[in-house]
Amino acid sequence: MRVVLLGPPGAGKGTQATGIEEKYNIVHISTGDIFRKNVKEGTPLGKQAQAYMDKGELVPDELVIALVQDRLKQDDCKNGYLLDGFPRTVFQAEAMEKLGIDVDKVVDIQVGRDTLIKRATGRRVCKKCGETYHISFRPTKVEGVCDKCGGEVAHRADDQEATVARRIDVYLTETAPLVDYYEKKGKIVHVDGEQEASTVQEKIFAALGD
């Protein structure tokens, strides 16, 4: 199964990805996570991407496409993949098709602007294992400490309110046209992402089939 998770920043893509990857035994590929890892390690790719990420802008298509193409060649993608944060422009989606990278289903997680701002600004992420928390909706047991691995839980640099607002605007202009794009291909399913995470998960499973 090859799935794309579509939705604005803070919609819950990463949160939902964990259960989907387990249930369908497919690998979760988040382009945002890959970029953040490269930024942390100071690689040439990370250095190129950082300025865009800090401003809440998209990294140029060419860089992202090359990265995804490379990642999907790895053996763990043979059973399928769950793309989170890619494609983010119609250009990226078309490039994927030209490269023979197929998609079976696109899950569009729908969440309104006010909720997105609350979720993204309150998001905290473990620096060590990447587990995601929320100061109100999913707090750690001990403040600042990851429940899973004991690592330090931090606020993402691009989760400040002004940057989140910019990222939502970028989503609406650059990424939202993909909804129509995949609608025309008959591949999209829409899920109300404003509900409890467990309810959203059930709806996604029902849409993808058991």
What's the rounded Cα separation, in Å, for the pair 13 and 72? Answer: 19
* The token pair that represents 94 in the structure block: 């078309």
Q: How many CB atoms lie within 10 A of CB 155?
A: 13
Among 6, 13, 68, 175, binds ligand ADP (CB under 6 A): 13
* The token pair that represents 24 in the structure block: 């369908």
Which one of ligand AMP, ligand ADP, none is in contact with 116 (Cβ closer than 5 to 8 A by kind)?
A: none
- Pick the closer one to ligand AMP by CB: 17 or 146: 17
Which one of ligand ADP, ligand AMP, none is in contact with 64 (Cβ closer than 5 to 8 A by kind)?
A: ligand AMP
| 200 in contact with ligand ADP (CB under 6 A) | yes
The residues, ordered by sequence, that sit 6+ positions from 2 with a Cβ below 8 Å of its Cβ are 26, 80, 81, 83, 102, 103, 104, 105
CB 145 within 8 A of CB 152: yes
Which one of ligand AMP, ligand ADP, none is in contact with 7 (Cβ closer than 5 to 8 A by kind)?
A: ligand ADP
Closest CA to 107 of 9, 10, 16: 16
- Pick the closer one to ligand ADP by CB: 94 or 208: 208
Which one of ligand AMP, ligand ADP, none is in contact with 24 (Cβ closer than 5 to 8 A by kind)?
A: none
| 12 in contact with ligand AMP (CB under 6 A) | no
Identify whether 123 is a catalytic site residue.
yes
Site string for ligand ADP, 97-126 (x = CB under 6 A): ----------------------xx-xx---
Cis peptide before 60 (omega within 30 of 0): no
The residues, ordered by sequence, that sit 6+ positions from 54 with a Cβ below 8 Å of its Cβ are 157, 158, 163
* The token pair that represents 71 in the structure block: 């990642």
Residues near ligand AMP (CB under 6 A)? 9, 31-32, 35, 52-53, 56-59, 64, 85-86, 88, 92, 158, 167
Active site residues: 13, 88, 123, 156, 167
Residues near ligand ADP (CB under 6 A)? 7, 9-15, 119-120, 122-123, 132-134, 137-138, 196-197, 200
